Amino acid sequence: GEDVEQSLFLSVREGDSSVINCTYTDSSSTYLYWYKQEPGAGLQLLTYIFSNMDMKQDQRLTVLLNKKDKHLSLRIADTQTGDSAIYFCAESISSTLTFGKGTMLLVSP
């Protein structure tokens, strides 16, 4: 079955880069996604990458995909306190998503 793993917690200082990692198990994933959830809110789609791509950059966000190792990462450049949230990676197989349990990012001033 599918399983998506993430580390639970990451703490960085404002201005540093943050790297959140994710591993998945299903090699038939078509798309992989990163979502952000702030306290008391729904999930906000940040970015996604097609499974035949290695990298995607979108402003401060860089997604790297190593399909051989089934490893996905999200790099946030110049991390700000407003980036403090829970970040979820998800893989898409057909029309459904399987989510990791989320990584809490804490950004200190």
Partner 1 sequence: DAGITQSPRYKITETGRQVTLMCHQTWSHSYMFWYRQDLGHGLRLIYYSAAADITDKGEVPDGYVVSRSKTENFPLTLESATRSQTSVYFCAIMTSGSGNEQFFGPGTRLTVL
Which residue in 11, 17, 25, 50 binds partner 1 (CB under 8 A)?
Answer: 50
Euclidean distance between CA atoms 88 and 66, whole angstroms: 18
Are 82 and 98 in contact by the 8 Å Cβ rule? The answer is no
Say whether residue 48 binds partner 1 (CB under 8 A).
yes
Q: With CB under 8 A as the contact rule, which of the stretches 17-25, 58-66, 69-77, 100-108 interacts with partner 1?
A: 100-108
- Name the residue nearer to partner 1 (CB basis): 13 or 101: 101
CB of residue 16 vs partner 1: minimum separation in angstroms? 26
Say whether residue 55 binds partner 1 (CB under 8 A).
no
**Could you give the C-alpha distances from 69 to 14, 31, 36, 65, 78, in angstroms and in order?**
30, 16, 24, 9, 27
Please give the DSSP secondary-structure letter assigned to residue 87: E
Say whether residue 39 binds partner 1 (CB under 8 A).
no
CB of residue 2 vs partner 1: minimum separation in angstroms? 9
